[in-house]
Structure 1
Amino acid sequence: MHGPQLRVALVQQGVWDMPLESMPLASGYLKAMILEDPELRSGTAVEICNFRGRVTHGEMAHRLFREELPDLVGFSVLGWNVRAFGALAATYRQLQPDGWVVFGGTHVSGQAERVFRLHPEVDVIVNGEGELTFPELVRARRDGRSRHELDDIAGISFRRPDGTVVTTGDRPRIENLDIIPSPFLTGAIDLLDEAGNFRYDVALIETNRGCPYKCAFCYWGGAVGQRVRAFSRERLRAELELFGKLGVHTVVACDANFGMLPIDLELVEDLISVNRRLGFPRAFETSWAKNKSKVFYEIVRRMKEAGLRSSFTLALQSLSTDALDSMRRRNMKVNDWRELVEWLGREGLDCYAELIWGAPGETVESFLRGYDELAEHVSRIAVYPIMLLPNTEYSEQKEVHGIVALRGDHDDFEYVLAHRTMTFEDNARMQRFLFWARVVAENAVLRHCWLPLRRLAGWTQSEVLDSLADWIDTTPAPEAAPLREAAARAHGGGAPAYAAAIGYLFTEQAGRTALERWWGEAVSPRLDAEHRAFLDEVFRYDLLTQPVVADQEALVEEVAGRGYFRRAGVTFSHNVPAALALMRAGQEPDLGPDPTCLDLYYRSGALNAVRSTNHEEIVHFMGEPRPAGAAF
């Protein structure tokens, strides 16, 4: 060992490069556990090394290994960083032959044989929750034990000197989650940057752990379906209080089914109380409960009354009964979604839905039919390709469904290419559709024109997206070239391709010009003369209410503690907001000319949401109309 203290490095990496960091919650838990133990605290120096998504292997190695080497490195492994962390482990072994490399996380848990084969420099894999296991490994390393003789530590896999893999007994789930010290209240996670500002894009918290469902595609419940265990209200309230004092705008609960339990309402009540006293937090995002109970509706009502923003999720995944059967979701109440969407619409609350393309049992026809049926009620649909995650039913039963899959170019996920109800050709066709559905509809590049196009022109949402895709593929317009290039990279390029297109459309004038040319050449000429002028103005309103991502307009004085950009005196030939409101309410507006002058206000700070392609955050930065000269 080097020096009087055992040196431990905890390594995390975010999924994408953002102006702000992603909070290293997993590493924070582990560090807090070590600091809570008097014996370990006095003899252990723990450093969290939190990297952004686009950082190179060389940059990570420079930070980790440039000074005194750690005696133990713990990596929080997910599908997008396992290759990078395997490379770092190999370098670390060359520099520190006696050091320990520990992998933990959902992507490696229960996958010892494969992980040790691909990354022979890894010494230990933590299976399941790591907060109790990791301190035992640190203690074993401090005591000079062999990394090949760890049989007494539950919940791990390691290897004998001859390479034999040993997996110890499962460690019971942590019943009392409050034995895990808060990484925020203990100071285990640095919350402020050098200027004294909150340093992360959002604040992450867990209110509970566990998921009672066993969806075939999901590790969250599919592998470990279990009853839900919760942190105490007192602990969570103290964390919210701290976030409020630090001016944190958005809190994200990393729960599987928030809004399912009465304690979830208690958290929202405490969040509202903190907001009223301190002015922050102002938005709350989470994975909402699949089955919407009375608790959920009460939470939504309370948040609306308090002015707390959120994006309410319909995690439908498919509307095909055959696909839902294979997913083991057929009997979930989430599939009775229409009433919920109508209720959220009446309440004036933002909502989006999630679909998965390519599940066994799904076809191109059934998927697009379901997509358009859903789009009639909610236009912002997040569409993701099916992936095989470790320890899930789909991953372990590929032969049953006839699944053909391929590992990603830049990650370690298995992407489904074909199965018994989906050919390679089907999948290739749908990859193009998924790209434009995610870029344009999910991220709200367009959000107002879907309903009037459907009602007045008879265009489904998928037809509009196909029109844009066809125009991008065939037009000689130079403004379309970057979008065509991004779409071509999407199948193998993943997040960078989506981010390039979204950034281009939101931040570049050429991106807006491309949309204007598509509309003028491929859409407007096909509209009835009776409705063309109105629909053209709705499209213009769509573009003008996109987020302002730079100091393009005059920054007004803060309103309720927030900074805003303002476009003053924008004139429209029709009163578009009023007409859209009537259409959403099921009424027939007068579509004749109605000259209207509006001031449009945009919350500042949108660039981080746009760069990270965070569609839940992007909608908080959309332009909000007010009559010209009216107070905001």
Structure 2
Amino acid sequence: MPLESMPLASGYLKSTLLADAEISTRVDVSIHNFRGGTTNTVMANALFSGDPPDVLSFSVLGWNYQSFGALAATFKQLNPNGLVIFGGTHVTNQAARVFRMFPEVDVVVNGEGELTFRELVRARLAGADKNDLGSVAGISFRGTDGRTVTTQERPRINDLEEIPSPFLTGALELTDANGEFRYDVALMETNRGCPYKCAFCYWGGAVGQKVRAFSMDRLRRELEMFAKLKVHTVVACDANFGLLPGDLDFVEALIETRDTYGFPRALETSWAKNKSKTFFKIVRRMKEAGMHSSFTLALQTLSDNALETMNRRNMKVNEWEDLAAWLDNEGLDCYAELIWGAPGETVESFMEGYDRLARRVSRIAVYPILLLPNTDYMEKKELFGITATRGDHDDFEYVLAHDTMTFAENQHMQRFLFWARVVAENAVFRYIWGSLRHFAGLTQSRVLLNLGDWIAEADDPAAVPLREFMATAAGGTDSFGAAISYFYTEAEAERLLRRWWDESILPLVPAEFRPLLDEIFRFDLLTQPVFRPGNAASLPEALPVTEIRDEKYYVRKDVHLAYDVPAIVGALRRDVEPDLSPSPRVLDLYYRTGSESAVTSTNHEIVIHFMGMTKEQILANANANANANANANANADSDADAGPAAGAAAGEQLGERLPLADGDAPDPQPPSSHSPLTIHLLPPDKGRCA
């Protein structure tokens, strides 16, 4: 992606070290944040140029496990006495396998890492041998006899204020050389823990755990910092946002911050599985305030048999239809999550559930089941008759077959998943689904299968890259992102979609509805994000840029529609029969600039913020409060003359104007693909290094 992902987990580790008076003057701590796809050679050159560090630490998940093992081997060639530490959900309780595969790894941290990491560095500074770390709780290491030693389990951190904020302490760099916020989104945690024990999940190791919250005072100060850096979207890295009453307080703080500074303007998160009164209060408050979000229905399956194996049979989340109808009728953006291939699921049950869900939610994130360490499914492979294989580019186990899914059925469904994820989940189309179902009786799955079959046979050079992407998508490659980018950025892709529509879909539509459906299809294409890489000439048309409330937008003026498409689509969402009489309409469409990061990744929650909309929609989403408009504009005016460095100056001064926090917590699923952390131990007379 053009923009970096925030290395939140590494930020927590660094801030915890630097807050310790015994450690901070004796270490130089550096976070190395690499983008996905960076080669091992590039990372090695960046990490080890100059003197190699004394300690090299990695926040490990399945996608970076192999790369980090290779970097550990390189490090030990340069510094045989250096210490290599692996932590993260993928290696927790997996030390024997880690040490067998990567003998250069010295320590595996089991569970939350901040306090454990601090003790490890303390022990290293005191001269402790890497084979004699028994005094540090929550780790595994090799003893002097070469056997794996696992120390006593470390209790989870009850008082999260023990962990300093990486933002307020300056442990994380937030701006680039131009003073702009450097990441795609701002990541925060408001709490840790998950009360559920779903069979496929190991959320930060905190499944079946009491939820612990951060102080609202610190969260407010972090929000204020992001606001001053004009961060558009905050992502709350919580397992069940909306579960706790304090989550409503966080939303109020977010809205108050937006009303004061004009930012942030959107909240994305993993919403609570069971929707409580707190959730509905939050949704109403966000709608009232014009604070945008994609509300999630994390269903995973609609099959009773699969719900049983998932340990979700009795969860109220499965009473979803009334909630989906309510969100739809309120006109709120909503998406759902399904997992294909769970034990107990069949092709028939999955497709039936998909189309049942699609009647209310067209944007469905469909993921193939993966076996993750420490999960119920991994431990019960034999019970469910699971056959799986390790990925070529990652360390996940991909399920190939089980007692209710044959290998051939899975292969067929992988092709469906490809088109469902690329075209529906990532919103290449948003409006045609309900219209085709209502006016032509075509289910969403039938349309997606139609598209896949047509592209597989199309005698069109524009279809060739898509066939190649689909062929390689099942093995954990970046084919999904490549296909999404292709649809959003290539003029030939639009022509291909137009040809498919004309040849394969319109003939299935009753003649009297074809003009209307054709206009809805055109509107779908018109509202896709505008993508402009470095070469401005790549745009098929020259679109002017305007600024609305401190954000820049491309403007497509005088768009002529033969029907009032937004009104018709809105009526269908509300289960109201629309007025189909021709009603020509002319409107201007606005597209947020900077979509490059969103359209070249698979982040459907972010790409939705770059879709074309009217000015009225922008103003409604940005701020529903006239007084807040005035406040935000006043703040924007005060900073506008400072130029591009204003953001940097604001960030630099925050340490003086805001008292430093004493607590924060790590992201249970570190979002950055590669974020090693290096430590150089300093002689006593060197003092503290930045």
Aligned-partner Cα distance in 1 for 2:143–2:620: 72
Aligned CA-pair RMSD: 1.5
> Secondary structure, in 3 states, of the residue corresponding to 1:356?
strand
Q: Which residue of 1 aligns with 2:393?
A: 410
Aligned-partner Cα distance in 2 for 1:564–1:527: 36
Task: Select which of 523, 528, 533 maps to 1:546.
Answer: 528
Q: Which residue of 2 aligns with 1:66?
A: 49
Task: Select which of 552, 556, 565 maps to 1:563.
Answer: 552
> Secondary structure, in 3 states, of the residue corresponding to 1:567?
strand
Deviates more, 1:432-441 or 1:155-164: 155-164
Q: Does 1:165 align with 2:165?
A: no
For residues 548-585 of structure 1, give each alpha carbon's deviation from its aligned partner in whole angstroms, at most 9, with x where no partner exists. Answer: 11254433431122211111112122221122122222
| One-letter code aligned to 1:211 | C
Q: Is the 8 A contact 2:546 2:554 kept in 1?
A: no
Task: Select which of 302, 315, 321 maps to 1:319.
Answer: 302
Deviation at 1:144, TM superposition (A): 1.5
Pair 1:173–1:372, CA change in 2 (3 A)? same
Q: Is the 8 A contact 2:196 2:207 kept in 1?
A: no
Aligned-partner Cα distance in 2 for 1:257–1:57: 35
Deviation at 1:482, TM superposition (A): 1.2
Aligned-partner Cα distance in 2 for 1:223–1:298: 26
Task: Select which of 283, 292, 300 maps to 1:300.
Answer: 283
Aligned-partner Cα distance in 1 for 2:506–2:614: 25
Aligned-partner Cα distance in 1 for 2:11–2:578: 54
* Gapped regions of structure 2 (runs ≥ 5): 622-690
TM-score w.r.t. length of structure 2: 0.87
Q: Which residue of 1 aligns with 2:490?
A: 508
Deviation at 1:595, TM superposition (A): 2.3
Matches within 5 A, 1:180-579: 180-220=163-203, 224-492=207-475, 494-550=476-532, 552=539, 553-579=542-568
Q: Is the 8 A contact 1:260 1:296 kept in 2?
A: yes
Q: Which residue of 1 aligns with 2:570?
A: 581
Q: Is the 8 A contact 1:213 1:222 kept in 2?
A: no
Aligned-partner Cα distance in 2 for 1:555–1:260: 44
Q: Which residue of 2 aligns with 1:605?
A: 594
Deviates more, 1:378-387 or 1:554-563: 554-563
| One-letter code aligned to 1:309 | H
Deviation at 1:520, TM superposition (A): 0.8
Task: Select which of 82, 99, 111 maps to 1:99.
Answer: 82
Aligned-partner Cα distance in 2 for 1:336–1:611: 35
Q: Which residue of 1 aligns with 2:24?
A: 41
Q: Is the 8 A contact 1:598 1:626 kept in 2?
A: no
Deviation at 1:301, TM superposition (A): 1.2
Deviates more, 1:424-433 or 1:495-504: 495-504
Q: Does 1:590 align with 2:572?
A: no
Q: Which residue of 2 aligns with 1:112?
A: 95
For residues 233-265 of structure 1, give each alpha carbon's deviation from its aligned partner in whole angstroms, at most 9, with x where no partner exists. Answer: 111111111111111111111100000111101
> Secondary structure, in 3 states, of the residue corresponding to 1:50?
coil
Deviation at 1:613, TM superposition (A): 1.9
Q: Which residue of 1 aligns with 2:106?
A: 123
> Secondary structure, in 3 states, of the residue corresponding to 2:31?
strand
For residues 113-156 of structure 1, give each alpha carbon's deviation from its aligned partner in whole angstroms, at most 9, with x where no partner exists. Answer: 11111111000000000111001111111122110011111000
Q: Which residue of 2 aligns with 1:15?
A: none
Q: Is the 8 A contact 1:283 1:308 kept in 2?
A: yes
Deviation at 1:338, TM superposition (A): 1.0
Q: Which residue of 2 aligns with 1:620?
A: 609
Q: Is the 8 A contact 1:223 1:392 kept in 2?
A: no
> Secondary structure, in 3 states, of the residue corresponding to 2:328?
helix
Aligned-partner Cα distance in 2 for 1:601–1:71: 51
> Secondary structure, in 3 states, of the residue corresponding to 1:524?
helix
Aligned-partner Cα distance in 2 for 1:177–1:329: 29
For residues 517-551 of structure 1, give each alpha carbon's deviation from its aligned partner in whole angstroms, at most 9, with x where no partner exists. Answer: 11011111222111111111111111111111125
Aligned-partner Cα distance in 1 for 2:581–2:443: 24
For residues 199-246 of structure 1, give each alpha carbon's deviation from its aligned partner in whole angstroms, at most 9, with x where no partner exists. Answer: 111111111110000000000188741000111111111111111111
Aligned-partner Cα distance in 2 for 1:68–1:236: 38
TM-score w.r.t. length of structure 1: 0.95
| One-letter code aligned to 1:260 | L
Aligned-partner Cα distance in 2 for 1:529–1:377: 26
Aligned-partner Cα distance in 1 for 2:250–2:298: 22
| One-letter code aligned to 2:508 | R
| One-letter code aligned to 2:244 | L
> Secondary structure, in 3 states, of the residue corresponding to 2:183?
coil
| One-letter code aligned to 1:453 | L
Q: Is the 8 A contact 2:6 2:187 kept in 1?
A: yes
Deviation at 1:361, TM superposition (A): 0.2
Aligned-partner Cα distance in 1 for 2:488–2:151: 51
Q: Is the 8 A contact 1:379 1:441 kept in 2?
A: yes
For residues 306-360 of structure 1, give each alpha carbon's deviation from its aligned partner in whole angstroms, at most 9, with x where no partner exists. Answer: 2211110000000000000000111111111111111111221100000000000
4+ aligned runs moved over 6 Å, structure 1: none
> Secondary structure, in 3 states, of the residue corresponding to 2:74?
helix
Deviates more, 1:249-258 or 1:546-555: 546-555
Aligned-partner Cα distance in 2 for 1:221–1:26: 11
Q: Does 1:52 align with 2:32?
A: no
Q: Is the 8 A contact 1:193 1:199 kept in 2?
A: yes
> Secondary structure, in 3 states, of the residue corresponding to 2:12?
helix
Q: Is the 8 A contact 1:320 1:362 kept in 2?
A: yes
| One-letter code aligned to 1:516 | R
> Secondary structure, in 3 states, of the residue corresponding to 2:427?
coil
> Secondary structure, in 3 states, of the residue corresponding to 1:132?
helix
Deviation at 1:631, TM superposition (A): 12
